[in-house]
A and B are shown apart, each in its own frame.
Chain A
């Protein structure tokens, strides 16, 4: 796997300016399929609570779990967890991991037929069991899929305490089926575990969703890649955000690494490209001064995979300092879009129609300007967009719960800016 990192910015600052912004694009390319640098462990968690009996969810979940098992590469360690009021290992024997082969995949498929819906929802317990199984394989590319259809039944704060103890150990992609689960709960898991969250409104779409998640997981070739950010003395990192393929604020995940440097976890990597927005406050310079505002390194352990430099150059030439960098402007807009949609949804839930209309109007405008068609379409299910250019919208009286949840979960999805402009 070969990694490249490139910084996009307007390095020119007006005299007295101290805020440096850059978009860093990290891209990895490998030979077809890539070669894993470590082993891989996959845990599939399927909610088997009583509510899964509705709408044929459990049957669809069985089928989806089987499809996910079929996607496992030979040699991958895996286990299936049935999610009820406690965590029950469905396959293989409790406390063990199976090694994927034609035979173990067939055995796992038979085991899935024993999955019946009866019991509660205990996400913290499910994830804790997944973490215990994964702990047997240190250094593996570890990933879990979690399917649920309802609220977490554990005591307040328990899920958060579990997440605090297992964060960084593996990545978790969560999917909610139906509309009786809470977006905020699964988002909390996705944020802590560097994974994704999405709604699968109809059980019939579960198989495709599981296949997609498992294919992506099998494409990961590095277990634990981190962004190392060095800044000069008297500089502070204001934020580090992933901005593509979706917005995720990494600022709080900082761990110090030597003087003036810190690491931010990125999770596992395959052949892919992601964009990060780094914002640094530096001491002001004089005209003609050039400063390295940040040295961004992609690291795996002590190995530096690639580097990009974020610079600050002070100038009294306003033609240079007022230039707008397209990448920075675009992703600043995409991050605002995600925040605005979530604020709109909050306001609508609180019955504040005025604020909701304003927020959704601004969101429609941002989505239109940036060419984020997918988000525009999701917005159109919640509001009538009269004029996207001016952000004129009207709240719909009737909004399907699934549409609002889809808008909520997918609000952080961004589109890439055209390069070289």
Chain B
């Protein structure tokens, strides 16, 4: 017999709710940092050690069975997940968006969430460029609303999006979130070209290895946000010839797999070891965390095959 903490009524063993006051009798979760039972307060911080109990966005999964799957994870070194994802399937049609908030801007988590929602809302029409343009407008508007500090350091983010219609794939992007095509054999093919300092100087003839080692390597040269200026989203389309996987991800994953062969090998290992798309996506997020988890990690896996000949 145990007393209800709220009304001091005795409860019978195994009861879930207090018979008198109706309060839940389930033990409140203990703080994961200091272990104090029931220590987490209404605002999400432990009433004992003050540590944040975790946010909903720290780890999210979207499981669309055999059609698609995506996972986003806070990683190990950032205090919140500033990546956001959108994954919707209609039969074999897939709409997918990944956005990575720019940490040095104010409210980057709001920027990325706004971007994926604005783009995702338009993707059913299949026009990836139009969807990204809508995301640009929505993120740019954030600076003028909410916290006044947004004006000084406006919310900003990257975006990568794809619409899969049968064997036709359209991708679009701004920034350094990537889309890859991973065939059944051979190295991954990067479908996007980073809007980053490193990519820019390599295109101008700099040594790629040296450029990637530069502290500025990951500085992005195009983004979504009020201060982004006029940026035209870049797009690409293709029709698959052989079966493979379309993979979209933020730099929290590809930073640990910069070699296209290694990237493809990791995706295949995840698929082989796990069997389902969602567990493979989770395996890839775990891979990045095992490697250091220095950034937020988001990955989406979409198998695409050529249409069966009639």
Contact = CB atoms under 8 A, between A and B. Distances in A.
Interface string A300-330: 0000000001000111110110000000000
A317 B215 CA distance: 12
Per DSSP, chain B at the interface is: loop
A290 B79 contact: yes
B51 A289 contact: yes
Given A320-B104, A421-B152, A233 B52 contact: no
Contact of B79 (A232, A234, A315): A315
A80 interface: no
A319 B104 contact: yes
A419 interface: yes
A292 interface: yes
B310 interface: no
Nearest to A315: B79
Contacts of B103: 317, 319-320
A419 B148 CA distance: 8
A290 B32 CA distance: 13
Interface size class of A (residues with CB under 8 A): 20 to 34
Nearest to B293: A288
Interface stretch (B41-49, B93-101, B173-181, B183-191): B41-49
Given A317-B103, A319-B104, A292 B148 contact: no
Contact of B43 (A287, A292, A314): A292
A288 B49 contact: no
A420 B49 contact: no
Given A232-B46, A320-B104, A292 B52 contact: yes
Interface string B69-103: 00000111111100000000000000000000001
Contacts of B151: 420
Interface in A185-204: none
18 contacts: A232-B48, A233-B49, A282-B50, A285-B51, A287-B76, A287-B77, A288-B74, A288-B76, A288-B79, A289-B52, A289-B79, A290-B79, A291-B51, A292-B43, A292-B52, A309-B43, A309-B45, A316-B77
Interface of B: 34, 43, 45-46, 48-52, 74-80, 103-104, 148-149, 151-152
Given A288-B76, A295-B45, A420-B148, 4 more contacts: A232-B45, A232-B48, A288-B75, A317-B103
Interface of A: 231-235, 282, 285, 287-293, 295, 309, 313-317, 319-320, 419-421
